[in-house]
Amino acid sequence: MKNVSTWVAATAAAALVMVGSLAGGATAHAVSAQPLKPKESAQSQDFDGTQSVGEADWLDDASGRQSVFIQTTGGSALVTMARQQNKGLSKSAAASRAKTQAAATQVTTDAIADKVRSLDPGATIMYDSQHTVPGIAVRATVGALQKVRQRSDVITIVELPRYAEPTAEAADDKSATGTVTTSNAQTSDLVRAIEAWKQKNQGQDVVVAVADSGLDYTHADFGGPGTTAAYDSAVAAAKGSVPTGLMNTEKVVGGIDLYGTDGTGNNPDNNPIPTRKDNTDHGTHVAGSIAGWGVNSNGSTYDPGSRDYSRVSDASQLSSLKVAPGMAPRAKLYGIKIFGDDGSGTGLAMKAMEHVAKITATTNIKIDIENESLAGATATRTTTTKKRPSRHSMPLELSR
Ligand SMILES: [Ca+2]
């Protein structure tokens, strides 16, 4: 438990420092579910990726091949960028500093990858990380890892947690009875989202990355064609790029499939479409709950008029919809696929954060929040079973 929980806590701390560093005077958004308390913010400012994210002692009595994250020297490039900006440097100058730092970390992680391969030719090099916690994820023998641990550029080696995929729930359960149901329409009333919409807080100008089982951007809830044919076309290109005309970029600004063909994170593709057809896609459900436009009873995309959800007077107006709007219906989405379609879990939670951090530091794509709704983490080590007790969610506001 210790290694997994420490690692998860450190990962969250890395994300929090981005919030603290980059949020600046940002206002709270409807979908930023966990605003920082001042105390947490002060503590998180101290974490910049150079502090150890956990103990490596477990390697002493481990055996076989293990999936691990090797934390290296270098520090978080995104934190560096934010600090430089806070000191008054322009975004481009700060980004330049971050790029230099990331490049130096890359040299280190490349050297470690070479060393791991030389010590264990059967090792799998998964992914490296420069913008969050610097390091590299690998699967290698304990003997090789024990040698790598001695390097001066290695801070620690922690087990890579593997998260299970949560089960999708009925998004709009028309069969439910009583005053409280699982209907999105009811939920928007319960959490007083409709009141927020009336005050013009509808998620406009906010981009939310959803790292999950994928995103069916062909769904009418996201302004897609909403047809089986469109979905089938997207699935046919699952290992490539999103086919033209199937993604409404007014709602979905982009996406990536980090899981790729084998879940290592080193063979991503640009199409985050989920390929399972059992209607249990969790990522699409989550994305819809966050920022879906809603779907009319005839299957077309819902629009209250000029995309202005302040026109929704009360929940009864949404009750006839096939799918009610998400809680921040004017927010945009970025889909990140970190689960495969076989339910085998993922070791890519940190990779998704790194991806978003890298986009923030190196491109003009604006992502404000990353959501990872994951089920229990299990260390991949086979000698002991380690489980976190409960499902948890990590909404991460990365920048404003
Ligand atoms: Ca894909």
Residue, of 49 and 278, whose pLDDT is higher: 49
Q: How far is the CA of 210 from the centre of ligand 1 (A)?
A: 15
Nearest to 333 by CA among 392, 375, 293, 277: 293
Residues with CB under 5 A from ligand 1 (ion): 238, 257, 269, 271
How far does residue 293's CA lie from ligand 1's centre (Å)? 24
Please say whether the beta carbons of 320 and 227 come within 8 A: no
In this predicted structure, the answer to whether residue 89 has a pLDDT above a threshold of 80 is yes
21-25, 87-91, 346-350: the lowest-pLDDT one: 21-25
What is the reported pLDDT for 380?
Answer: 54
Given a cut of 90, is residue 9 above it in pLDDT?
A: no
Whole-number Å distance, alpha carbon 350 to ligand 1 midpoint, is 19
Cα 270 to ligand 1 centre (Å): 6
In this predicted structure, what is the pLDDT of residue 183?
Answer: 61
* CB-CB contact of 190 with 183 (8 Å): no
What's the CA-to-centroid distance between 268 and ligand 1, angstroms?
Answer: 7
Residue 38 has what pLDDT? 41
| Residue 241 clears pLDDT 50, i.e. is over it | yes
306 Cα to the center of ligand 1, angstroms: 33
As given in the structure block, the two tokens for residue 185 are 């329409």
Q: Render the burial of 264-302: b for 16+ CB within 10 Å, e for the rest.
A: bbbebbebbbbbeeeeebbbbbbbbbbbbbbbeeeeebb
Name the more confident of 398 and 271: 271
To the nearest whole number, what is the mean pLDDT of the chain? Answer: 83
Question: Band of the pLDDT at 16, cuts 50, 70, 90?
Answer: very low
Full-model pTM = 0.83
pLDDT, mean of residues 13-22? 42
Distance 218 CA to ligand 1 centre (A): 14
If you measure from the C-alpha of residue 138 to the centroid of ligand 1, how many angstroms do you get, rounded to a whole number?
A: 22
pLDDT at res. 346: 93
By three-state DSSP, how is residue 13 classified? helix
At residue 42, the pLDDT reads 41
Q: Please determine, for residue 29, whether its predicted confidence score (pLDDT) is greater than 50.
A: no
DSSP one-letter code for 169: P
Q: How far is the CA of 385 from the centre of ligand 1 (A)?
A: 31
pLDDT tens for 117-149 read 999 999 999 999 999 999 999 999 999 999 999
**pLDDT for 357 beyond 90:** yes
Mean pLDDT within 302-327? 93
Of the pLDDT bands very low, low, confident and very high (cuts 50, 70, 90), residue 175 is very low
pLDDT mean over 110-115: 98
CA dist 144 → 28, 117, 122, 267 (Å): 46, 9, 11, 24
